[in-house]
Structure 1
Amino acid sequence: MLSVSEEYLNNEYIYATATESSVRASAASVIAEATAYFQDYQDDLSVYGMTPSYGGNMALAIVMGIFFVLSTGLGLYYKQWWFGTCFFFGCGLEFAGYVGRTVSAKDPVLVDPFLDQIISLTLAPAFIMGGIYYMLAKLCSIFGEGHSKLKPMSYAKIFIICDLVSIIIQAVGGGMAASAAANYENADTGTHIMVAGLAFQVASMTLFLYFWFDMCYSIYKVYRTSENPDDEFNDEFKDIRQRPMFNTFPVAITLSTLFVYVRCIYRVAELSEGWRGHLITEEIYFLILDSLMMCLAIVIMLIYFPGFVFGKDSHIPVKGFRLSRKKKEETPQPDGDKLLTDNNEQSATDKDSV
């Protein structure tokens, strides 16, 4: 290392003072080789196995910071408490993660910024999906439960619980891996637990996509076959279905979910290779399959923020709406007075019989 440093400094002096082009070219070649050696040496010492891009991660930190401010402000203004809270934590964790990577770009040997980014960026998508899962339950209420396999509240309970389980597993694994890394011990156990949490998240998202596409197809059939599609849906939310952004809202949810889905599959493959695998030490994969995917998923849901789609004063309770309007009309409802009269007559008959 010392000899390379001396050679580098000597050739820098030669390059600066030499007049012959051949001598300057030779010195430049030696300087380039020494620089590459220093970079390789730094990458070997780096906890990442490489040196993160300063400019790229700084730009992502700024973008995620803007997303964090926008999602928080919109959540408060439109009173979208669940969705806003999920995006508050999701975008906040994304921002914190890229701040950590930006710090690491200047000193990739530091452990704390590395742990910050690996834990934050691993957990953030679970919170983003928590907000999206709740939208499926709301859309189920808006169209009517007759067009989905489960009640609205069932969607909320199943997938939000799955999301929480995924977050807990990943947090436990991340904590174990962080503790091992801080003590320069083997982090394989924690890494495997993190992979299990990510795999569970991918599995729950796959199930979500099944129910989501099933409901979308059911609604599509109504629009395709019915002369008056709104007669088949929940009358209570007819005004919301006629809002300008509502018709393309399902497309936005689909795209956002698929972007997060791609990112989660990538992270499972990445961590499965270990901390010195090909995917984790080549930052271009991370920037495309993680950073870009999450940016696209978040920006789409900010453009289609529920407050814009449903309206500021809308109230869409997530509860069981058992039948579509058509089925309700076909189901006779008992008249309260008649039922009471029938019961009294039956009681009188019973007394006469006695």
Structure 2
Amino acid sequence: MSSSDPRVILYHYNPNLPAAIVLAALFTLVTFYLSIQLFRYRAWFTLPLVTGGILEIAAYVCRSLSHNNTQSLGPYIIASIFTLVAPAFVAATIYMILGRIIRLLDAAHLSPVRVTLLTKIFVIGDVFSFAVQSVGAQMQTGKDVDKQKLGQKLIIGALFLQIFIFGLFVVVAGVFNWRIARCPTQPAQGAPWRKHMGALYAASALIWVRNVVRTIEYIQGSDGYIVGHEAFLYGFDAAPMFLVLVTMALLYAPAFLRPRKPNSEEVEMQRSGSGTDAVSEGA
């Protein structure tokens, strides 16, 4: 595919320059804050979240570059692929946060899925969806019409998989939420776990809606209504993803999600208990 080929239509409109610049700036601010939190609390599990933010920044920078040259293939490919796959990185952190909440509340017995498998199942499904979307997006940038159609089908299938994964995730989180509300563990009685579960539900709902709209967009094809109107990209992709990052920045609280260290009294009790056990064994 050549950018000079008059038959190639990369955009059905001229990308809005102010909107792209504003979105790039907003994603930069929230991603910078998330990066500070990552290093401050050594919350390495949020690295995929920050990566998703970086991809969004690059995508909207490239859209701004496309404003004056809508036939420039490089910025178009980067913007298209990065906005498509960024949510997969964000979702990976969301899945890991649920596992951490369950462990910190000492509530593994209340999870409908074994905690050791919980994160792995959802993250593996997420990585697979990301890989398929990436392949499909790359195939759509080639000249071969058959490959373009196959790429479209791959993306649609991967988006349906993401929708299913998020639905299943919300069900698992909801069951755990219901169980711990009925039978709270001792750590749960003094922890703001409801706020963090609420953040997960909100973030999941936003990404789920985004995935549904993007799925409809690809089902409609290159001549569809959604792909021909830029407002859908900003209203049902950029806005939800920005709100997800803001929600995570404000409510996921890496300080809370870090493994809790026992205080001095608990350490002394453990030592006393160990001493008692030793005496009993000696007796």
Q: TM-score range by the shorter chain?
A: 0.7 to 0.9
Residue 264 of structure 1 is matched in structure 2 by 211
**Deviation for aligned residue 1:45:** 6.5
Q: Is the 8 A contact 2:15 2:64 kept in 1?
A: yes
Q: Is the 8 A contact 1:68 1:88 kept in 2?
A: yes
**Deviation for aligned residue 1:219:** 2.0
Instruction: Tell me the secondary structure at the aligned position of residue 161 of structure 1.
Output: helix
**Deviation for aligned residue 1:76:** 1.1
Would you say 1:146 and 2:94 are equivalent positions? no
Residue deviations 1:222-265 (CA, integer Å, cap 9, x gap): 3xxxxxxxxx41x4x46xx635x544111111101100110011
Structure 1: 5+ residue stretches without partners: 1-43, 223-231, 318-334, 340-354
Residue deviations 1:179-216 (CA, integer Å, cap 9, x gap): x1xx4755221121111111111111111011011111
CA distance 1:140–1:57, change in 2 (3 Å): same
Distance 1:269 1:108 in 2: 24
**Deviation for aligned residue 1:316:** 6.0
CA distance 1:309–1:142, change in 2 (3 Å): closer
Letter in 2 for 1:177: Q
Instruction: Tell me the secondary structure at the aligned position of residue 260 of structure 1.
Output: helix
Residue 118 of structure 1 is matched in structure 2 by 80
Distance 1:316 1:124 in 2: 31
Q: Is the 8 A contact 1:138 1:316 kept in 2?
A: no
Residue deviations 1:294-326 (CA, integer Å, cap 9, x gap): 11111000111332444xxx3169xxxxxxxxx
**Deviation for aligned residue 1:146:** 2.2
- Structure with max Cα Rg: 1
**Deviation for aligned residue 1:97:** 0.9
Would you say 1:171 and 2:134 are equivalent positions? yes
Q: Is the 8 A contact 2:110 2:179 kept in 1?
A: yes
Larger relative contact order, structure 1 or 2 (CA cutoff 8 Å, min sep 6): 2
Residue 200 of structure 2 is matched in structure 1 by 253
Percent of pairs with identical residues: 21
Q: Is the 8 A contact 1:260 1:294 kept in 2?
A: yes
The count of residues paired between Structure 1 and Structure 2 equals 260
Q: Is the 8 A contact 1:72 1:87 kept in 2?
A: no
Distance 1:316 1:149 in 2: 23
Distance 1:123 1:306 in 2: 25
Residue deviations 1:315-339 (CA, integer Å, cap 9, x gap): 169xxxxxxxxxxxxxxxxx99999
Instruction: Tell me the secondary structure at the aligned position of residue 133 of structure 1.
Output: helix
Distance 1:73 1:65 in 2: 12
Distance 1:265 1:153 in 2: 30
Distance 2:99 2:115 in 1: 4
Instruction: Tell me the secondary structure at the aligned position of residue 280 of structure 1.
Output: coil
Distance 2:8 2:152 in 1: 20
Letter in 2 for 1:217: W
Distance 1:300 1:157 in 2: 23
CA distance 1:217–1:281, change in 2 (3 Å): same
Residue 315 of structure 1 is matched in structure 2 by 259
State TM-score, norm by structure 2: 0.84
Distance 2:139 2:223 in 1: 18
CA distance 1:266–1:316, change in 2 (3 Å): farther
Structure 2: 5+ residue stretches without partners: 1-6, 262-276
The runs of at least 4 aligned residues of structure 1 exceeding 3 Å deviation read: 183-186, 335-339
